[in-house]
């Protein structure tokens, strides 16, 4: 069966503040744990009023403390923004506090705009060093040698699984070369998904961490009792993506009755392309659409995000997804 996990972008809803979003995420993490989800990830973004997970390691610590068994991690840390030693220390600390529960997904995008990158004192060329930085993080987690001058404390000798994140062939090639699990950001950048999965699997080299390839695409899932209700809830997601097209980023907006009056035909076409892997509907609708997706991708795991304005409806969406998981798994096996 296919494992199912949660990607939480810690959305700040219109009318609320970051603290409200963070408390809602802790509640959702406990809910996901009770429902049997495999892992719960948050992602690094900066200078975005609608996303509250900028201090990603801090948020992960709070989520891990609020739960007991579910794996918690970063999907991901934007490594060009940080020194590898600092990330090894941060996630080594998390692993020391919550043994066997911490994941570290690494990406090479800045997670922000060029101006904010300068505010973080990062060079636009920092992403060129991403493969070397990944190797440095990996080395800091290895057991320290007797004469090793610089160690990650905590970190050295701890088992923190690394993942490579990507939305292009670059990440697929790097994950394959290093023998690491691969997560593809198809929840907002779907175009290269199938090609990236093929490249990753074809070129995968076994490693100490992973003997066979392991791929996890990210998707949007908006589930409700009926297709009409799900489509209504999904207008918050659609508004967010229209904002990206317009260059306007703000808080998550409440759903609207008629999305057609909100976007232009060109915006609709653009956003619909970006949301190619948004699965919206009732349980029966999702069984068919998600089953077909898993069969097509042969995913080992899927990571679902659900930018739903109403917190109770968001929790219900994850309940529905969990309830149909066994039948999705059967679809893959067939």
pLDDT of 62-96, one tens digit each? 999 999 999 999 999 999 999 999 999 999 999 99
What residues form DSSP beta bridges with 40? Answer: 6, 72
Is residue 334 in a domain?
Answer: no
Mean pLDDT, residues 29-35 taken together: 97
Q: What's this model's pTM, rounded to 2 decimal places? A: 0.94
pLDDT value at residue 327: 83
Evaluate if residue 49 carries a pLDDT over 90: yes
The CATH number covering residue 163 comes to 3.20.20.30
pLDDT value at residue 7: 98
Is residue 8 in a domain?
Answer: yes
pLDDT value at residue 220: 98
pLDDT band at 332 (very low <50, low <70, confident <90, very high): very low
pLDDT band at 56 (very low <50, low <70, confident <90, very high): very high
Mean pLDDT, residues 115-125 taken together: 66
d(CA 191, CA 309): 27
Is residue 306 in a domain?
Answer: yes
Task: Write 230-237 long-range contacts (CB < 8 A, 24+).
Answer: 230/280, 230/281, 230/282, 230/285, 231/280, 231/281, 232/257, 233/308, 233/309, 233/310, 233/313, 233/317, 234/278, 234/280, 235/259, 235/262, 236/307, 236/308, 236/309, 237/275, 237/278, 237/307, 237/308
DSSP class of 155: T
pLDDT of 173-197, one tens digit each? 999 999 999 999 999 999 999 999 9
Mean pLDDT of the chain: 93
pLDDT value at residue 125: 67
Q: In the chain, how many domains are there?
A: 1
Domain extent, residue 260, equals 3-143+151-327
Is residue 333 in a domain?
Answer: no
More confident site: 226 or 325: 226
Is residue 332 in a domain?
Answer: no
pLDDT band at 6 (very low <50, low <70, confident <90, very high): very high
pLDDT of 265-312, one tens digit each? 999 999 999 999 999 999 999 999 999 999 999 999 999 999 999 999
pLDDT value at residue 113: 65
**Percentage of the chain exceeding pLDDT 90:** 85
């Amino acid at each position: 069966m296919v494992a199912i996990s949660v990607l939480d972008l810690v959305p700040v809803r219109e009318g609320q503040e970051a603290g409200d979003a963070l408390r809602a995420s802790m509640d959702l993490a406990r809910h996901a744990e009770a429902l049997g989800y495999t892992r719960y990830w948050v992602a690094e973004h900066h200078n975005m009023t609608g996303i509250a997970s900028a201090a990603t390691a801090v948020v992960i610590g709070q989520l891990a403390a609020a739960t007991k068994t579910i794996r918690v991690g970063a999907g991901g840390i934007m490594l060009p923004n940080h020194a590898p030693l600092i990330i090894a220390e941060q996630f080594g600390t998390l692993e020391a506090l919550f043994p066997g529960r911490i994941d570290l997904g690494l990406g090479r995008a800045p997670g922000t705009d060029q101006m904010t990158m300068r505010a973080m004192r990062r060079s636009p060329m920092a992403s060129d060093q991403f493969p070397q930085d990944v190797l440095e993080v990996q080395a800091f987690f290895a057991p320290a040698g007797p004469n090793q001058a610089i160690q990650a404390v905590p970190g050295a000798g701890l088992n923190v699984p690394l993942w490579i994140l990507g939305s292009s062939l670059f990440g697929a090639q790097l994950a394959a070369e290093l023998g690491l699990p691969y997560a593809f950001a198809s929840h907002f950048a779907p175009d290269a998904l199938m090609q990236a999965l093929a490249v990753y699997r074809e070129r995968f080299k076994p490693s100490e961490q992973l003997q066979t390839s392991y791929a996890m695409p990210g998707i949007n899932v908006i589930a409700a009792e009926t297709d009409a209700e799900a489509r209504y809830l999904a207008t918050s997601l659609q508004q967010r993506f229209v904002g990206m097209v317009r260059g306007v980023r703000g808080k998550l907006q409440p759903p609207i009755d008629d999305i057609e009056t909100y976007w232009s035909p060109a915006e609709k076409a653009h956003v619909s392309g970006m949301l190619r892997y948004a699965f919206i509907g009732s349980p029966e609708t999702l069984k068919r659409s998600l089953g077909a997706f898993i069969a097509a991708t042969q995913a080992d795991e899927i990571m679902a995000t659900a930018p739903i304005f109403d917190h109770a409806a968001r929790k219900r969406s994850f309940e529905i997804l969990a309830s149909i998981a066994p039948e999705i798994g059967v679809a893959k096996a067939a």
